[in-house]
Structure 1
């Protein structure tokens, strides 16, 4: 299935609410727009892969910060506490198991996306 990422990102405006654009081998490929700072959290049983599509996007760890630009990616190992952030709006693809809740072990909040929303 061919996917036009620019069209898919243009179809929504909200921040921090990932949308499933495709699935493969038990993994979701999710699109998210970011702006501001996401809560600290971890995922005990899953790695997360972040691929920056547009803008600048940070993955903050307690001991360091990694900034991604368009075309750059990072895998966050399972169980590692992190938070994500961007000063301006960024567009990011997230690759993770379908059952993963975007806020991980953080308390449910306005950042917790509904499960299974597709675009």
Structure 2
């Protein structure tokens, strides 16, 4: 069940990653769209930064600044990796994909590295 909607049906809700679609989660004919959530939603966010890491609220801009400040090395990734190893994350509940945020952080850093001049 989705925690923010006590009327949502039980089941395996799926996340829609299509950036052109307003639907975020769906189960059968039931949907949760961008008008019915309380946070920015990954790739669907257009009006303010969405965290690359929901557990520790690191945004792509923050990761980019860290990457540049540390000459092409992300200290944020190392910090998050250590926190995950210590069991301090809650990705399965906070990340809308239900997956660990480390992959999102890695993709963000890879994208930054391809465009940044350190």
TM range (shorter): under 0.3
| CA radius of gyration, larger in | 2
Higher share of residues assigned strand = 1
TM-score, length-normalised on structure 2? 0.23
* Bigger relative contact order (CA 8 A; separation at least 6): 1
